[in-house]
Chains A and B, each alone.
Chain A
């Protein structure tokens, strides 16, 4: 009976411990201020992206976030200042033509990251910068993101040709005779149909930095794109066959549907997509054993 009691006591202790320390076993992270290297930084796209990335990562359960406050220290700027200080210190030697002082300095070692924008896996971000941030926030990892590019414009602006092309592709896939028969009474309208796609793309990077050593342990660059459609029928002559509307179309009256404006909704959508892709990439690498946190 005693043995059973001891066994149960051990089981009780271990189960309670495992429940209480489970959260602690997950690596602890803090989110650094994301940077936006584009001219859209005034709309705080970096802040929006960091919120979305954090939301996705918390929900994966792979990382434990300490606090909600994005650490308001711009690590990119700090690193730049650090490099600038090294250059200033080496100025005297350079003025004498001694470049060795500069290039043999600690900041110019091959594995030292020169800037956040170029830091990749295996490189070291100055631990004098990262370690105090980790210590002050009881975090093992720092997460830093950069928006490298936000591109707008008409990435796929289809005119008559591509609209017909897509319809033909669909028809051929389905083994149909032609576009008209595939689309029924709408078919004849294709020659006047235009689809204007408004696109927005974002190129973003995320780095996981081990706070104690400054080592970049994970890095991913993603390009994400979303589009909205705006359809117009120009009402060119000879477009017949749309049931009751045929008279209107034949009379060259234009029709349109959709949105061709670039809205902040599109920006939100593309940032949400980017954050999902980044989060999926981290989870995939953890699950595949490519990324060992701890």
Chain B
């Protein structure tokens, strides 16, 4: 009888301690390719392969932080592609269930690159000037329960990458230039990487 009471007491305590929104950090999770919105970028910015890269950065951070047991991405994509399941960007509950059953994962993380923008701030004094190009990336990720189709968490991350272009008027005429006026692919990827990391950090905070 004592053992029964002890077991019941433990069950009660476990139930009380379990939050309705609690999720197990040690569960397996599959990270999907992120989607991009049609108006997510400006003409100067090329989002080449950003969908794939974003999920790679997210996996990188999740593994580093020992947050979830992340399924190997290539294995995941191979399996879902073989099953002809569309997984880019937004995922509906039925698809989530299919993915959960196929990969035997409790959760999936998917989302969108909401916006990647370029802003220019600069100053000039006479012929000399400094221009700072800042690429900012915003992504929103969703952790979804594959059993129920419910969204458990949504987090967003923002990342910035700045490059500077300096123009100085020479004393004897002519102009000396430093940096680049163009937005490089490196800047875009840096911004996306920071945004992905920030998103995972935010998720980690919520899970703790």
Contacts and interface: CB of A to CB of B under 8 A. Distances in A.
B110 A68 contact: yes
A68 B118 contact: no
Contacts of A11: 8, 12
B39 A248 contact: no
Interface residues of A, number: 56
Nearest to B145: A23
Contacts of A268: 114-115, 117, 136, 138
A227 to B, nearest CB: 13
Contacts of A4: 5
Contacts of A289: none
B125 A68 contact: no
Interface of B: 1, 4-5, 8-9, 11-16, 18-21, 37-42, 90-93, 96, 110-112, 114-115, 117-126, 136, 138, 140, 142, 144, 148-151, 153-156
A55 B117 contact: no
A43 interface: yes
Interface stretch (A120-128, A207-215, A249-257): A249-257
A69 B91 contact: yes
- Overall SS of chain A's interface: helix
A86 interface: no
- The winner among A20, A68, A261, A268 for most chain B CB atoms within 10 A is A68
11 contacts: A8-B8, A15-B15, A19-B18, A25-B20, A48-B37, A58-B151, A68-B91, A69-B90, A248-B126, A254-B125, A268-B138
Contacts of B142: 58, 68
Contacts of B96: 67-68
A67 B15 contact: no
A80 B123 CA distance: 51
B154 A59 contact: yes
- The winner among A5, A22, A267, A268 for most chain B CB atoms within 10 A is A268
Contacts of A70: 90
Contact of A45 (B20, B39, B90, B154): B39
B99 to A, nearest CB: 12
A18 to B, nearest CB: 7
B12 A12 contact: yes
A66 B124 CA distance: 52
A194 interface: no
Contact of B124 (A1, A255, A259): A255
B15 A44 contact: no
A19 B19 contact: yes
